[in-house]
Amino acid sequence: MPTQKSILVTGCAGFIGANFVREFKKRYPKTKIVGIDNFSTGRRDALDKTITFYRGSICNRKLLEKIFLRHRLTYVFHFAALPQVSYSVENPAETTEVNVFGTVLLLEMARDNKVKRFIHSSSSAVYGDAKELPTKEGNELLHPRSPYGLQKYTDEPFLKMFSDLYGLDSVALRYFNVFGPGQYGGSAYATVICNWLEGLYFRHKGKPFLESDGKQSRDFCYVKNVVDANIKAMKVKGSLRGETINIGHGKRTTLLEVRKLIEQYTEKKLSLERRPTRLGDVRHTHADISKARRLLGYRPLIDFETGLRETVEWFEERAK
Ligand SMILES: NC(=O)c1ccc[n+]([C@@H]2O[C@H](COP(=O)([O-])OP(=O)(O)OC[C@H]3O[C@@H](n4cnc5c(N)ncnc54)[C@H](O)[C@@H]3O)[C@@H](O)[C@H]2O)c1
């Protein structure tokens, strides 16, 4: 029977997962980190070599049984997913297997192995076109616009049900438009910020583009804030019972404003190819983060402008 306390990080080679591992190690150097990833969208160079790593899928029951048996896992941080909206539109069955079946299988393992809390990565994609801005979590039926959004939406009542039926504590964090170092322009879920910076610093990768008039806006959330929200969700005393909680910056920025700031910070001209609005794209996202403040004590540690500067610095380093 293993004795050392460990946490499980699924998707540890992905953008948010790798940022999470780096910060968690700093804050809890004595806790063992166990990671799983199959590199479907993750990167080998993002993987922290000091953690105990299992290469494989979260849909592989035998592998999960082995991991849960070998380690005394107290918390599960579930980042693994196939997160590309357009990929989910083309491949609804494959993405449902990973994004729904994979989550439920992990919940089962967490239930059977007495995990203290399951911290799940949900998404603002569950809202589709939100009726109200800033958007509150609410109880009304939502209408996601993609299989990905529906899959994340489906996971949430599973969390609640596992809490009600088996007493497995959990929380679903609905992230809004995450950006920051470690997000590559061409990668699965890249925001315009990373796509534009990739185009600006690595011109051979194609010309950056702007869809629609640029007046659409996003609640861009810096990755360090998302990581901090996960750690806060672990530390909450009492039970969270499958609550769904928005994690954003709580402020929205138009794409034209982002462009201006990028030109200012990089001292480069960002010329963008104009393209028509993409079908199904939402016009604005804006998180109401009062529930996160109340239940987790969350507030964005780093504001949008500082996060953007740090992201620019990371691209500059890569381009050297
Ligand atoms: N980045 C965002 O803006 C954003 C917004 C909302 C929600 N999310 C959610 O946050 C989580 C992390 O997103 P990200 O941006 O880091 O994406 P990412 O693609 O960089 O990371 C996902 C990781 O999961 C791994 N993975 C995929 N399928 C797997 C499987 N079957 N078994 C094991 N590992 C598997 C990938 O290889 C990758 O390393 C995801 O659940 C995503 O849906 C992200």
Judge contact between 206 and 199, C-beta under 8 A.
yes
Residue from 40, 91, 191, 225 whose mutation best tests the ligand 1 pocket (most atoms within 8 A of CB): 40
Residue from 12, 86, 189, 219 whose mutation best tests the ligand 1 pocket (most atoms within 8 A of CB): 189
- Largest Cα–Cα distance in the chain? 60
Tokens coding 119: 């911290």
What's the CA gap between 156 and 242, in Å, rounded? 7
> What's the pLDDT score for residue 1?
63
Judge contact between 181 and 188, C-beta under 8 A.
no
Atom of ligand 1 nearest to the CA of 80: 24
Q: For residue 246, report the distance from its CA to the centre of ligand 1, in Å.
A: 17
Atom of ligand 1 nearest to the CA of 191: 3
Q: For residue 41, report the distance from its CA to the centre of ligand 1, in Å.
A: 7
> What's the pLDDT score for residue 129?
86
Spans in the chain with pLDDT lower than 50: none
Q: For residue 288, report the distance from its CA to the centre of ligand 1, in Å.
A: 23
Peptide bond into 134 cis (omega under 30): yes
Judge contact between 76 and 116, C-beta under 8 A.
no
Atom of ligand 1 nearest to the CA of 39: 37
Atom of ligand 1 nearest to the CA of 152: 43
Judge contact between 87 and 149, C-beta under 8 A.
no
Tokens coding 204: 């051979």
What pairing do the DSSP bridges indicate for beta strands 221-222 and 243-247?
unpaired
Nearest residue CA, atom 9 of ligand 1? 121
> What's the pLDDT score for residue 4?
77
Q: Which of 80, 76, 97, 79 is nearest to 88 (CA)?
A: 97
Judge contact between 238 and 306, C-beta under 8 A.
no
State if pTM tops 0.75: yes
Atom of ligand 1 nearest to the CA of 40: 37
> What's the pLDDT score for residue 276?
86
> What's the pLDDT score for residue 86?
87
> What's the pLDDT score for residue 173?
98
Atom of ligand 1 nearest to the CA of 124: 6
Which residues does ligand 1 sit against, CB inside 6 Å? 11, 13-17, 36-42, 57-59, 79-83, 98, 102, 121, 123, 175, 177-178, 188-189
> What's the pLDDT score for residue 206?
76
> What's the pLDDT score for residue 187?
64
Q: For residue 218, report the distance from its CA to the centre of ligand 1, in Å.
A: 20
Helix, strand, or coil here: 12? coil
Tokens coding 113: 């192995």
